[in-house]
Structure 1
Protein backbone atom coordinates (compact mmCIF):
# COMPACT_ATOMS: atom_id res chain seq x y z
CA UNK A 1 0.00 0.00 0.00
CA UNK A 2 1.42 3.33 -1.03
CA UNK A 3 1.99 5.94 1.58
CA UNK A 4 -0.88 8.41 1.91
CA UNK A 5 -3.16 6.56 -0.45
CA UNK A 6 -6.81 6.79 0.55
CA UNK A 7 -6.08 9.42 3.21
CA UNK A 8 -7.61 12.90 3.36
CA UNK A 9 -6.16 15.75 5.36
CA UNK A 10 -8.42 18.53 6.68
CA UNK A 11 -7.82 21.36 9.11
CA UNK A 12 -10.98 20.68 11.11
CA UNK A 13 -12.61 17.30 11.59
CA UNK A 14 -16.06 18.95 11.45
CA UNK A 15 -15.51 20.18 7.90
CA UNK A 16 -16.04 17.76 5.08
CA UNK A 17 -13.25 17.51 2.54
CA UNK A 18 -15.78 16.99 -0.25
CA UNK A 19 -17.63 20.16 -1.37
CA UNK A 20 -21.17 19.76 -2.62
CA UNK A 21 -22.81 22.27 -4.97
CA UNK A 22 -25.66 24.31 -3.43
CA UNK A 23 -28.46 23.02 -5.65
CA UNK A 24 -32.05 23.60 -4.47
CA UNK A 25 -34.14 20.51 -3.97
CA UNK A 26 -36.93 19.62 -6.35
CA UNK A 27 -40.18 20.50 -4.56
CA UNK A 28 -42.47 19.74 -7.49
CA UNK A 29 -43.83 16.61 -5.78
CA UNK A 30 -45.04 18.72 -2.82
CA UNK A 31 -48.25 20.67 -3.71
CA UNK A 32 -48.08 24.33 -2.71
CA UNK A 33 -44.29 24.27 -2.32
CA UNK A 34 -42.95 24.54 -5.82
CA UNK A 35 -39.83 26.59 -5.17
CA UNK A 36 -36.98 26.82 -2.71
CA UNK A 37 -37.09 29.53 -0.07
CA UNK A 38 -33.46 30.42 -0.79
CA UNK A 39 -32.80 32.06 -3.13
CA UNK A 40 -36.00 31.93 -5.23
CA UNK A 41 -38.73 33.03 -2.83
CA UNK A 42 -36.55 35.35 -0.75
CA UNK A 43 -35.32 37.14 -3.87
CA UNK A 44 -38.92 37.89 -4.87
CA UNK A 45 -39.60 39.27 -1.38
CA UNK A 46 -36.56 41.54 -1.61
CA UNK A 47 -37.61 42.80 -5.03
CA UNK A 48 -41.11 43.66 -3.81
CA UNK A 49 -39.69 45.35 -0.72
CA UNK A 50 -37.27 47.38 -2.83
CA UNK A 51 -40.05 48.62 -5.12
CA UNK A 52 -42.14 49.65 -2.10
CA UNK A 53 -39.18 51.39 -0.45
CA UNK A 54 -38.31 53.36 -3.59
CA UNK A 55 -41.95 54.37 -4.02
CA UNK A 56 -42.25 55.43 -0.40
CA UNK A 57 -39.04 57.49 -0.54
CA UNK A 58 -40.23 59.16 -3.75
CA UNK A 59 -43.52 60.05 -2.06
CA UNK A 60 -41.78 61.63 0.92
CA UNK A 61 -39.59 63.69 -1.41
CA UNK A 62 -42.56 64.86 -3.50
CA UNK A 63 -44.81 65.59 -0.49
CA UNK A 64 -42.67 66.28 2.61
CA UNK A 65 -44.36 66.17 5.98
CA UNK A 66 -45.59 69.58 7.18
CA UNK A 67 -43.48 70.92 10.00
CA UNK A 68 -44.73 73.13 12.78
CA UNK A 69 -43.04 75.76 14.86
CA UNK A 70 -40.74 75.19 17.81
CA UNK A 71 -42.58 73.84 20.85
CA UNK A 72 -43.71 76.60 23.18
CA UNK A 73 -44.44 75.39 26.74
CA UNK A 74 -46.24 78.66 27.54
CA UNK A 75 -48.91 78.11 24.87
CA UNK A 76 -51.70 76.36 26.76
CA UNK A 77 -54.05 76.50 23.75
CA UNK A 78 -51.83 74.35 21.54
CA UNK A 79 -53.21 70.86 20.84
CA UNK A 80 -50.43 68.41 19.95
CA UNK A 81 -51.01 65.67 17.39
CA UNK A 82 -48.99 62.47 16.95
CA UNK A 83 -47.38 61.51 13.67
CA UNK A 84 -49.64 60.02 11.01
CA UNK A 85 -48.72 56.43 11.81
CA UNK A 86 -50.03 56.88 15.39
CA UNK A 87 -53.22 58.72 14.50
CA UNK A 88 -55.29 55.54 14.78
CA UNK A 89 -54.25 55.11 18.42
CA UNK A 90 -54.94 58.82 19.01
CA UNK A 91 -58.45 58.37 17.60
CA UNK A 92 -59.03 55.25 19.69
CA UNK A 93 -58.55 57.27 22.88
CA UNK A 94 -61.51 59.48 21.94
CA UNK A 95 -64.03 56.69 22.47
CA UNK A 96 -65.72 56.30 25.86
CA UNK A 97 -64.62 52.70 26.32
CA UNK A 98 -60.94 53.67 25.84
CA UNK A 99 -60.71 57.02 27.65
CA UNK A 100 -61.34 58.55 31.04
CA UNK A 101 -61.49 55.84 33.72
CA UNK A 102 -60.98 53.22 31.01
CA UNK A 103 -57.86 54.79 29.54
CA UNK A 104 -55.82 51.70 30.38
CA UNK A 105 -57.99 49.77 27.93
CA UNK A 106 -57.12 52.28 25.22
CA UNK A 107 -53.38 52.49 25.80
CA UNK A 108 -52.55 48.94 26.91
CA UNK A 109 -55.21 46.25 26.73
CA UNK A 110 -56.84 46.86 23.32
CA UNK A 111 -53.56 47.55 21.41
CA UNK A 112 -51.91 44.67 23.26
CA UNK A 113 -54.64 42.22 22.25
CA UNK A 114 -54.62 43.46 18.65
CA UNK A 115 -50.86 43.28 18.11
CA UNK A 116 -50.60 40.10 20.16
CA UNK A 117 -53.20 38.46 17.94
CA UNK A 118 -51.33 39.41 14.79
CA UNK A 119 -48.12 38.10 16.34
CA UNK A 120 -49.75 34.75 17.10
CA UNK A 121 -51.56 34.47 13.75
CA UNK A 122 -48.91 32.19 12.16
CA UNK A 123 -49.15 29.84 15.14
CA UNK A 124 -52.96 29.81 15.20
CA UNK A 125 -53.24 28.95 11.52
CA UNK A 126 -50.66 26.36 10.48
CA UNK A 127 -52.24 25.34 7.19
CA UNK A 128 -49.74 24.34 4.48
CA UNK A 129 -51.50 26.31 1.73
CA UNK A 130 -50.45 29.79 0.74
CA UNK A 131 -53.68 30.94 -0.87
CA UNK A 132 -55.91 33.25 1.20
CA UNK A 133 -58.91 30.88 1.27
CA UNK A 134 -56.67 28.20 2.81
CA UNK A 135 -55.56 30.52 5.63
CA UNK A 136 -58.88 31.82 6.98
CA UNK A 137 -57.72 32.68 10.51
CA UNK A 138 -54.57 34.57 9.53
CA UNK A 139 -56.25 36.40 6.63
CA UNK A 140 -59.28 37.39 8.72
CA UNK A 141 -57.15 38.76 11.54
CA UNK A 142 -54.97 40.70 9.13
CA UNK A 143 -57.96 42.19 7.28
CA UNK A 144 -59.62 43.22 10.56
CA UNK A 145 -56.41 44.85 11.79
CA UNK A 146 -55.81 46.65 8.49
CA UNK A 147 -59.41 47.89 8.25
CA UNK A 148 -59.35 49.15 11.84
CA UNK A 149 -56.10 51.08 11.36
CA UNK A 150 -57.29 52.65 8.08
CA UNK A 151 -60.69 53.64 9.49
CA UNK A 152 -59.35 55.14 12.73
CA UNK A 153 -56.62 57.03 10.86
CA UNK A 154 -59.19 58.43 8.42
CA UNK A 155 -61.55 59.51 11.22
CA UNK A 156 -58.72 61.26 13.07
CA UNK A 157 -57.33 63.02 9.99
CA UNK A 158 -60.77 64.14 8.78
CA UNK A 159 -61.41 66.00 12.05
CA UNK A 160 -58.32 68.23 11.66
CA UNK A 161 -58.15 71.35 9.49
CA UNK A 162 -54.60 70.72 8.33
CA UNK A 163 -54.23 73.93 6.30
CA UNK A 164 -55.35 76.15 9.16
CA UNK A 165 -53.18 74.24 11.61
CA UNK A 166 -50.12 74.56 9.38
CA UNK A 167 -50.76 78.30 9.01
CA UNK A 168 -51.19 78.86 12.74
CA UNK A 169 -48.16 76.79 13.73
CA UNK A 170 -45.82 77.39 10.82
CA UNK A 171 -42.16 77.65 11.78
CA UNK A 172 -40.82 81.12 12.36
CA UNK A 173 -37.77 81.67 10.15
CA UNK A 174 -34.58 82.40 12.00
CA UNK A 175 -33.78 86.07 11.94
CA UNK A 176 -30.33 87.33 11.02
CA UNK A 177 -30.96 90.57 12.88
CA UNK A 178 -28.50 91.20 15.69
CA UNK A 179 -30.18 92.32 18.90
CA UNK A 180 -28.03 94.83 20.76
CA UNK A 181 -28.44 93.74 24.35
CA UNK A 182 -26.34 96.69 25.52
CA UNK A 183 -28.97 99.10 24.21
CA UNK A 184 -30.77 100.71 27.18
CA UNK A 185 -34.06 100.02 25.45
CA UNK A 186 -33.37 96.25 25.44
CA UNK A 187 -33.65 95.98 29.24
CA UNK A 188 -36.98 97.82 29.08
CA UNK A 189 -38.18 95.57 26.29
CA UNK A 190 -37.08 92.51 28.27
CA UNK A 191 -39.11 93.46 31.33
CA UNK A 192 -42.23 94.72 29.51
CA UNK A 193 -42.56 93.08 26.08
CA UNK A 194 -40.38 89.99 25.70
CA UNK A 195 -42.85 87.54 27.27
CA UNK A 196 -45.36 88.22 24.47
CA UNK A 197 -43.25 89.31 21.51
CA UNK A 198 -40.25 86.99 21.84
CA UNK A 199 -36.63 87.66 22.67
CA UNK A 200 -35.82 88.56 19.04
CA UNK A 201 -39.06 90.57 18.47
CA UNK A 202 -40.29 87.89 16.04
CA UNK A 203 -43.49 87.23 17.99
CA UNK A 204 -44.60 84.63 20.49
CA UNK A 205 -47.64 82.78 21.73
CA UNK A 206 -49.47 85.95 22.85
CA UNK A 207 -48.12 88.73 20.64
CA UNK A 208 -47.31 89.39 16.98
CA UNK A 209 -43.92 90.12 15.50
CA UNK A 210 -42.61 93.66 15.97
CA UNK A 211 -40.25 93.31 13.02
CA UNK A 212 -41.53 94.92 9.84
CA UNK A 213 -44.16 96.98 11.66
CA UNK A 214 -45.76 99.80 9.69
CA UNK A 215 -46.40 101.93 12.78
CA UNK A 216 -44.55 105.17 13.29
CA UNK A 217 -42.47 105.75 16.45
CA UNK A 218 -45.30 107.83 17.93
CA UNK A 219 -47.79 105.04 17.25
CA UNK A 220 -45.49 102.44 18.79
CA UNK A 221 -45.27 104.51 21.97
CA UNK A 222 -49.04 104.98 22.07
CA UNK A 223 -49.67 101.23 21.57
CA UNK A 224 -47.20 100.36 24.34
CA UNK A 225 -49.17 102.55 26.79
CA UNK A 226 -52.78 102.22 25.58
CA UNK A 227 -52.78 98.83 23.82
CA UNK A 228 -54.36 97.81 20.53
CA UNK A 229 -56.69 95.00 19.48
CA UNK A 230 -56.31 92.09 21.91
CA UNK A 231 -53.38 93.83 23.63
CA UNK A 232 -54.66 95.47 26.82
CA UNK A 233 -53.63 98.92 28.02
CA UNK A 234 -51.05 99.64 30.70
CA UNK A 235 -48.68 96.90 29.55
CA UNK A 236 -45.83 99.38 29.79
CA UNK A 237 -45.05 100.45 33.34
CA UNK A 238 -42.03 102.74 32.90
CA UNK A 239 -41.39 106.46 32.68
CA UNK A 240 -41.64 108.63 29.58
CA UNK A 241 -37.86 108.50 29.19
CA UNK A 242 -37.91 104.69 29.32
CA UNK A 243 -40.77 104.66 26.81
CA UNK A 244 -38.66 106.71 24.40
CA UNK A 245 -35.74 104.31 24.85
CA UNK A 246 -38.05 101.36 24.16
CA UNK A 247 -39.43 102.97 20.99
CA UNK A 248 -35.92 103.84 19.77
CA UNK A 249 -34.83 100.25 20.35
CA UNK A 250 -37.77 98.80 18.35
CA UNK A 251 -37.17 101.32 15.53
CA UNK A 252 -33.45 100.46 15.40
CA UNK A 253 -34.22 96.75 15.08
CA UNK A 254 -36.67 97.45 12.24
CA UNK A 255 -34.07 99.55 10.45
CA UNK A 256 -31.82 96.48 10.36
CA UNK A 257 -34.64 94.42 8.83
CA UNK A 258 -35.14 96.85 5.93
Structure 2
Protein backbone atom coordinates (compact mmCIF):
# COMPACT_ATOMS: atom_id res chain seq x y z
CA UNK A 1 0.00 0.00 0.00
CA UNK A 2 1.50 3.25 -1.15
CA UNK A 3 1.52 6.20 1.12
CA UNK A 4 -1.19 8.72 0.30
CA UNK A 5 -3.28 6.30 -1.72
CA UNK A 6 -6.99 7.09 -1.62
CA UNK A 7 -6.61 10.72 -0.49
CA UNK A 8 -8.63 13.40 -2.32
CA UNK A 9 -8.29 17.18 -2.22
CA UNK A 10 -11.51 19.18 -2.16
CA UNK A 11 -11.50 22.90 -2.87
CA UNK A 12 -13.76 25.28 -0.90
CA UNK A 13 -15.70 27.52 -3.25
CA UNK A 14 -16.07 30.12 -0.49
CA UNK A 15 -12.38 30.89 -0.61
CA UNK A 16 -11.78 33.13 -3.60
CA UNK A 17 -9.03 35.35 -4.73
CA UNK A 18 -9.45 39.00 -3.73
CA UNK A 19 -9.26 40.07 -7.33
CA UNK A 20 -12.32 37.98 -8.22
CA UNK A 21 -14.61 39.41 -5.47
CA UNK A 22 -17.35 41.86 -6.38
CA UNK A 23 -16.98 45.32 -4.94
CA UNK A 24 -19.77 46.57 -2.65
CA UNK A 25 -21.66 49.20 -4.59
CA UNK A 26 -24.29 51.54 -3.09
CA UNK A 27 -27.81 50.85 -4.23
CA UNK A 28 -29.16 52.78 -7.14
CA UNK A 29 -32.11 54.60 -5.58
CA UNK A 30 -33.62 55.19 -8.99
CA UNK A 31 -34.77 51.56 -8.88
CA UNK A 32 -37.20 52.49 -6.06
CA UNK A 33 -38.83 55.78 -7.14
CA UNK A 34 -40.75 57.53 -4.35
CA UNK A 35 -39.86 54.87 -1.76
CA UNK A 36 -36.27 55.55 -0.75
CA UNK A 37 -33.84 58.43 -0.88
CA UNK A 38 -30.30 59.15 0.14
CA UNK A 39 -29.87 60.28 3.75
CA UNK A 40 -27.34 62.88 2.68
CA UNK A 41 -28.23 65.39 1.47
CA UNK A 42 -31.86 64.71 0.44
CA UNK A 43 -33.45 63.44 3.68
CA UNK A 44 -31.33 65.57 6.01
CA UNK A 45 -32.07 68.71 4.01
CA UNK A 46 -35.81 68.12 4.39
CA UNK A 47 -35.37 67.68 8.14
CA UNK A 48 -33.50 70.96 8.38
CA UNK A 49 -36.12 72.80 6.35
CA UNK A 50 -38.97 71.54 8.55
CA UNK A 51 -37.00 72.39 11.70
CA UNK A 52 -36.31 75.90 10.37
CA UNK A 53 -40.04 76.48 9.70
CA UNK A 54 -40.94 75.49 13.29
CA UNK A 55 -38.10 77.60 14.72
CA UNK A 56 -39.23 80.70 12.81
CA UNK A 57 -42.81 80.02 13.92
CA UNK A 58 -41.79 79.87 17.59
CA UNK A 59 -39.76 83.08 17.26
CA UNK A 60 -42.71 84.91 15.67
CA UNK A 61 -45.02 83.62 18.42
CA UNK A 62 -42.72 84.81 21.20
CA UNK A 63 -42.45 88.26 19.61
CA UNK A 64 -46.21 88.58 18.98
CA UNK A 65 -47.27 87.19 22.38
CA UNK A 66 -44.40 87.62 24.89
CA UNK A 67 -44.50 85.77 28.18
CA UNK A 68 -46.49 87.77 30.77
CA UNK A 69 -44.48 89.15 33.67
CA UNK A 70 -45.62 89.62 37.23
CA UNK A 71 -44.27 91.77 40.01
CA UNK A 72 -41.01 90.71 41.69
CA UNK A 73 -41.21 87.66 43.94
CA UNK A 74 -41.49 88.39 47.64
CA UNK A 75 -40.65 85.50 50.00
CA UNK A 76 -42.45 87.30 52.82
CA UNK A 77 -45.69 87.39 50.84
CA UNK A 78 -47.75 84.44 52.05
CA UNK A 79 -50.86 85.39 50.10
CA UNK A 80 -49.47 84.59 46.65
CA UNK A 81 -50.69 81.32 45.12
CA UNK A 82 -48.26 80.04 42.48
CA UNK A 83 -49.65 78.14 39.49
CA UNK A 84 -47.54 75.79 37.34
CA UNK A 85 -47.45 75.81 33.55
CA UNK A 86 -50.43 74.32 31.70
CA UNK A 87 -48.81 70.91 31.15
CA UNK A 88 -48.52 70.39 34.93
CA UNK A 89 -51.98 71.66 35.84
CA UNK A 90 -53.37 68.12 36.13
CA UNK A 91 -50.83 67.30 38.86
CA UNK A 92 -51.57 70.66 40.53
CA UNK A 93 -55.28 69.79 40.57
CA UNK A 94 -54.58 66.31 41.92
CA UNK A 95 -52.95 67.79 45.03
CA UNK A 96 -56.19 69.63 45.86
CA UNK A 97 -58.12 66.45 46.60
CA UNK A 98 -58.34 65.12 50.13
CA UNK A 99 -56.81 61.72 49.34
CA UNK A 100 -53.70 63.38 47.81
CA UNK A 101 -53.15 66.43 50.04
CA UNK A 102 -52.44 67.26 53.66
CA UNK A 103 -51.04 64.25 55.47
CA UNK A 104 -51.46 62.24 52.23
CA UNK A 105 -49.45 64.73 50.18
CA UNK A 106 -46.72 62.19 49.46
CA UNK A 107 -49.32 59.98 47.75
CA UNK A 108 -50.40 62.72 45.35
CA UNK A 109 -46.94 64.17 44.79
CA UNK A 110 -44.80 61.01 44.51
CA UNK A 111 -46.65 57.70 44.72
CA UNK A 112 -49.44 58.21 42.14
CA UNK A 113 -47.34 60.03 39.49
CA UNK A 114 -44.52 57.53 40.09
CA UNK A 115 -46.80 54.55 39.46
CA UNK A 116 -48.28 56.17 36.34
CA UNK A 117 -44.97 57.09 34.72
CA UNK A 118 -43.37 53.82 35.87
CA UNK A 119 -46.15 51.86 34.17
CA UNK A 120 -45.61 53.91 31.02
CA UNK A 121 -41.92 52.97 31.00
CA UNK A 122 -42.75 49.29 31.50
CA UNK A 123 -45.34 49.09 28.71
CA UNK A 124 -42.84 47.77 26.09
CA UNK A 125 -41.89 44.94 28.44
CA UNK A 126 -45.39 44.12 29.69
CA UNK A 127 -47.08 44.17 26.31
CA UNK A 128 -45.02 42.31 23.71
CA UNK A 129 -47.86 41.76 21.24
CA UNK A 130 -47.04 42.40 17.58
CA UNK A 131 -50.58 43.52 16.82
CA UNK A 132 -50.84 47.06 15.50
CA UNK A 133 -54.59 47.49 15.77
CA UNK A 134 -55.62 49.16 19.06
CA UNK A 135 -58.81 47.07 19.11
CA UNK A 136 -56.75 43.88 19.30
CA UNK A 137 -54.78 45.21 22.28
CA UNK A 138 -57.56 46.14 24.72
CA UNK A 139 -55.51 46.43 27.93
CA UNK A 140 -52.80 48.88 26.70
CA UNK A 141 -55.40 50.83 24.74
CA UNK A 142 -57.73 51.01 27.74
CA UNK A 143 -55.00 52.17 30.11
CA UNK A 144 -53.82 54.84 27.64
CA UNK A 145 -57.36 56.14 27.05
CA UNK A 146 -57.92 56.24 30.83
CA UNK A 147 -54.67 58.17 31.38
CA UNK A 148 -55.49 60.71 28.65
CA UNK A 149 -59.04 61.16 29.98
CA UNK A 150 -57.72 61.70 33.53
CA UNK A 151 -55.19 64.30 32.35
CA UNK A 152 -57.82 66.19 30.34
CA UNK A 153 -60.35 66.12 33.21
CA UNK A 154 -57.87 67.27 35.88
CA UNK A 155 -56.51 70.02 33.63
CA UNK A 156 -60.02 71.26 32.90
CA UNK A 157 -60.96 71.24 36.59
CA UNK A 158 -57.82 73.20 37.47
CA UNK A 159 -58.55 75.86 34.84
CA UNK A 160 -62.24 76.21 35.75
CA UNK A 161 -61.74 76.41 39.53
CA UNK A 162 -58.85 78.90 39.50
CA UNK A 163 -59.66 82.60 39.83
CA UNK A 164 -57.54 83.85 36.93
CA UNK A 165 -58.83 87.44 37.16
CA UNK A 166 -57.81 87.72 40.82
CA UNK A 167 -54.44 86.10 40.07
CA UNK A 168 -53.80 88.59 37.25
CA UNK A 169 -54.71 91.50 39.50
CA UNK A 170 -52.59 90.13 42.32
CA UNK A 171 -49.51 89.68 40.14
CA UNK A 172 -49.87 93.01 38.32
CA UNK A 173 -46.71 95.10 38.30
CA UNK A 174 -47.46 98.11 40.47
CA UNK A 175 -45.79 101.45 40.78
CA UNK A 176 -42.98 101.37 43.27
CA UNK A 177 -44.01 102.77 46.63
CA UNK A 178 -41.56 105.33 48.02
CA UNK A 179 -39.45 103.79 50.73
CA UNK A 180 -39.78 105.11 54.25
CA UNK A 181 -37.60 104.69 57.26
CA UNK A 182 -39.23 102.23 59.64
CA UNK A 183 -38.39 102.15 63.31
CA UNK A 184 -38.15 98.37 63.74
CA UNK A 185 -37.97 98.74 67.52
CA UNK A 186 -41.28 100.58 67.69
CA UNK A 187 -44.06 98.74 69.48
CA UNK A 188 -46.46 99.30 66.58
CA UNK A 189 -44.07 97.62 64.15
CA UNK A 190 -43.62 94.62 66.44
CA UNK A 191 -47.40 94.25 66.64
CA UNK A 192 -47.55 94.40 62.83
CA UNK A 193 -44.96 91.63 62.46
CA UNK A 194 -46.99 89.34 64.69
CA UNK A 195 -50.32 90.02 62.97
CA UNK A 196 -51.93 88.63 59.84
CA UNK A 197 -51.73 92.07 58.21
CA UNK A 198 -48.20 91.44 56.96
CA UNK A 199 -49.39 88.70 54.62
CA UNK A 200 -51.47 91.17 52.58
CA UNK A 201 -49.66 94.48 53.04
CA UNK A 202 -46.01 93.32 52.84
CA UNK A 203 -43.19 93.30 55.35
CA UNK A 204 -42.35 96.94 54.55
CA UNK A 205 -45.97 98.17 54.25
CA UNK A 206 -45.42 98.33 50.46
CA UNK A 207 -48.58 96.40 49.63
CA UNK A 208 -49.10 92.98 48.09
CA UNK A 209 -52.53 91.39 48.02
CA UNK A 210 -53.69 94.45 49.95
CA UNK A 211 -52.98 98.11 49.32
CA UNK A 212 -49.83 99.93 50.52
CA UNK A 213 -50.06 101.44 53.98
CA UNK A 214 -47.53 104.19 53.28
CA UNK A 215 -48.81 107.73 52.93
CA UNK A 216 -52.40 107.06 53.98
CA UNK A 217 -54.45 110.21 54.45
CA UNK A 218 -56.32 108.66 57.38
CA UNK A 219 -56.44 109.15 61.11
CA UNK A 220 -55.70 106.37 63.58
CA UNK A 221 -59.42 106.08 64.45
CA UNK A 222 -60.34 105.72 60.76
CA UNK A 223 -57.75 102.95 60.36
CA UNK A 224 -59.21 101.15 63.39
CA UNK A 225 -62.70 101.42 61.88
CA UNK A 226 -61.48 99.93 58.56
CA UNK A 227 -59.81 97.08 60.45
CA UNK A 228 -63.13 96.30 62.13
CA UNK A 229 -65.54 96.83 59.22
CA UNK A 230 -63.35 96.24 56.18
CA UNK A 231 -63.08 98.34 53.04
CA UNK A 232 -63.47 97.31 49.40
CA UNK A 233 -61.88 93.89 48.96
CA UNK A 234 -60.43 93.93 52.48
CA UNK A 235 -62.55 91.90 54.94
CA UNK A 236 -63.18 93.20 58.42
CA UNK A 237 -62.28 91.55 61.69
CA UNK A 238 -59.00 90.04 60.49
CA UNK A 239 -56.87 91.59 63.22
CA UNK A 240 -56.51 89.05 66.02
CA UNK A 241 -54.94 91.25 68.69
CA UNK A 242 -56.53 93.37 71.41
CA UNK A 243 -58.09 96.78 70.89
CA UNK A 244 -55.12 98.42 72.57
CA UNK A 245 -52.70 96.72 70.17
CA UNK A 246 -54.86 97.70 67.18
CA UNK A 247 -54.85 101.33 68.32
CA UNK A 248 -51.04 101.34 68.68
CA UNK A 249 -50.68 99.74 65.24
CA UNK A 250 -53.01 102.33 63.69
CA UNK A 251 -51.05 105.18 65.26
CA UNK A 252 -47.80 103.70 63.94
CA UNK A 253 -49.25 103.44 60.40
CA UNK A 254 -50.13 107.16 60.43
CA UNK A 255 -46.41 107.94 60.89
CA UNK A 256 -45.48 106.13 57.67
CA UNK A 257 -45.26 109.11 55.36
CA UNK A 258 -43.02 109.17 52.25
CA UNK A 259 -40.19 111.69 52.16
CA UNK A 260 -41.06 114.99 50.51
Shorter-chain TM-score bucket reads: 0.5 to 0.7
Hey, what's the Cα distance between the residues in 1 that align with 2:113 and 2:38? 42
Tell me the residue number matched to 1:8: none
Q: Does 1:106 align with 2:112?
A: yes
Q: Judging changes above 3 Å, is the alpha-carbon distance between structure 1 residues 46 and 87 closer, same or farther for their aligned structure 2 residues? A: farther
Tell me the residue number matched to 2:212: 209
Q: How many residues align?
A: 207
Hey, what's the Cα distance between the residues in 2 that align with 1:85 and 1:189? 45
Aligned positions of 1:45-194 closer than 5 A = 45-69=47-71, 70-72=73-75, 75=78, 78-91=80-93, 100=104, 103=108, 104-114=110-120, 117=123, 152-175=154-177, 177-181=178-182, 187-193=186-192
Deviations 1:109-150 (A, max 9, x none): 112333565xx59xx7999xxxx99xx99xx89x96995566
SS at match of 2:29: coil
The answer (yes or no) to whether the contact 1:27–1:34 under 8 Å persists in 2 is: yes
Deviation for aligned residue 1:179: 1.9
Q: Can you give the 5+ residue segments of structure 2 that lack an aligned partner in the other structure?
A: 1-25, 231-235
Deviations 1:35-79 (A, max 9, x none): 12233222222222222222223323333344445254562x654
TM-score under structure 2 length normalisation: 0.55
Hey, what's the Cα distance between the residues in 2 that align with 1:83 and 1:202? 28
Q: Judging changes above 3 Å, is the alpha-carbon distance between structure 1 residues 210 and 112 closer, same or farther for their aligned structure 2 residues? A: same
The answer (yes or no) to whether the contact 2:206–2:214 under 8 Å persists in 1 is: yes
Tell me the residue number matched to 1:222: 221
Tell me the residue number matched to 2:204: 200
| Higher relative contact order, chain-length normalized (CA < 8 Å, sep 6+) | 2
Structure of larger gyration radius? 2
Q: Judging changes above 3 Å, is the alpha-carbon distance between structure 1 residues 26 and 164 closer, same or farther for their aligned structure 2 residues? A: farther
Hey, what's the Cα distance between the residues in 2 that align with 1:191 and 1:27? 83
Question: Aligned-residue CA RMSD in angstroms?
Answer: 4.7
Aligned positions of 1:3-14 closer than 5 A = none
Tell me the residue number matched to 2:18: none
SS at match of 1:208: coil
Deviation for aligned residue 1:153: 3.7
Tell me the residue number matched to 2:9: none
Hey, what's the Cα distance between the residues in 1 that align with 2:27 and 2:147? 36
Aligned positions of 1:8-23 closer than 5 A = none
